[in-house]
Amino acid sequence: MLPIPQVVLPDGAAVPALGLGTWMMGEQRRRAGDEAAALAHGLDRGMTLIDTAEMYGDGGAEEVVARAIAGRRDEVFLVSKVYPHNAGRGSAIAACERSLQRLRTDRLDLYLLHWRGSVPLAETVAAFEALRRDGKIARWGVSNFDAGDLAELWALPEGRHCATNQVLYHLGERGIEWALLPWMRARRMPLMAYSPLGQGALLRRKELATVASRIGATPAQVALAWLLRQRDLMVIPKAADPAHVAANRAACDLALDAAALAALDDAFPPPSGASALAML
């Protein structure tokens, strides 16, 4: 098995390009043990980037993550997100402290604004910087920001400390290739791709199955390998089934050749113009 490639953040921290999502986890108490085991299975395979949020399972997903990382916190690059309505100067600090309690840790490696709301960006950045100075977060970033939002953020005094922007990106949703991805690349800000399997729907597309069977891989592996071949992306598939976790990890061993890439471009064409940022 090849090692998982790493992505280097603007402050020099190296993060595995393939991690673990947690949306829909922590919603049912009886499933929490299995969900934590699936995450631990991923950690054992080097998928040590875990993405969660105060929103997921109303805090339940963070509690599942706490179970998965118990006794191995130092192995993990831990990401959580604050609701826009909690992103004010004092409320973001309080929300982060609640997340830390649920996660049973004293620090996050990355704290994201989940999407842009009505709180002025400068206020959220001030809260994030205060959390960083206090050691409660190592760095911060945003999610669901289009190029215009990022440009506004970038113009703030400490806006350039933004480590990443987590957005919807997969074969069937390539709109960000038009403006957002080039904007971020020009500033060396790596992107975190969410719903890389299109929440499972992408995997049912016949064109993807055709390419996958031609090269002896699964649709999920092709979808992930297509993202991972771009060296500056972090990719966070969610899998509660340990067999899915193992299959996703194997995507790092899959190199797509020119014929496969051309077939994928044919079936899932890149954007031909500007469009609003797609989000879930």
Question: Which positions are annotated as active-site residues?
Answer: 56
**CA separation (Å) from 227 to 75, 90, 174, 192?**
24, 37, 11, 10
3-state secondary structure of 279: coil
Sign of CA dihedral 15, 20, 24, 27: negative
116 near ligand NAP, judged by CB under 6 A: no
With beta carbons less than 8 A apart as the criterion, state whether 55 and 81 touch.
Answer: yes
For residues 11 to 50, the per-residue mask of contacts with ligand NAP, x marking binding by CB under 6 A and - elsewhere, is: ----------xxx---------------------------
144 near ligand NAP, judged by CB under 6 A: yes
247 near ligand NAP, judged by CB under 6 A: yes
With beta carbons less than 8 A apart as the criterion, state whether 110 and 139 touch.
Answer: yes
204 near ligand NAP, judged by CB under 6 A: no
Sign of CA dihedral 173, 200, 3, 139: positive
Binding residues for ligand NAP, rule CB under 6 A, total 27
Shortest separation between residue 19's beta carbon and ligand NAP, angstroms? 9
Partners of 77 in the β-ladder: 49
Q: By Cβ distance, which residue is nearest to ligand NAP? A: 21
Nearest CB to ligand NAP, comparing residues 128 and 194: 194
Nearest CB to ligand NAP, comparing residues 86 and 144: 144
With beta carbons less than 8 A apart as the criterion, state whether 156 and 121 touch.
Answer: yes
**Options 125, 171, 239, 256; binder of ligand NAP; rule CB under 6 A:** 239
Binding residues for ligand NAP, rule: CB under 6 A, are 21-23, 51, 114, 143-144, 166, 194-200, 203, 220, 236-241, 244, 247-248, 280
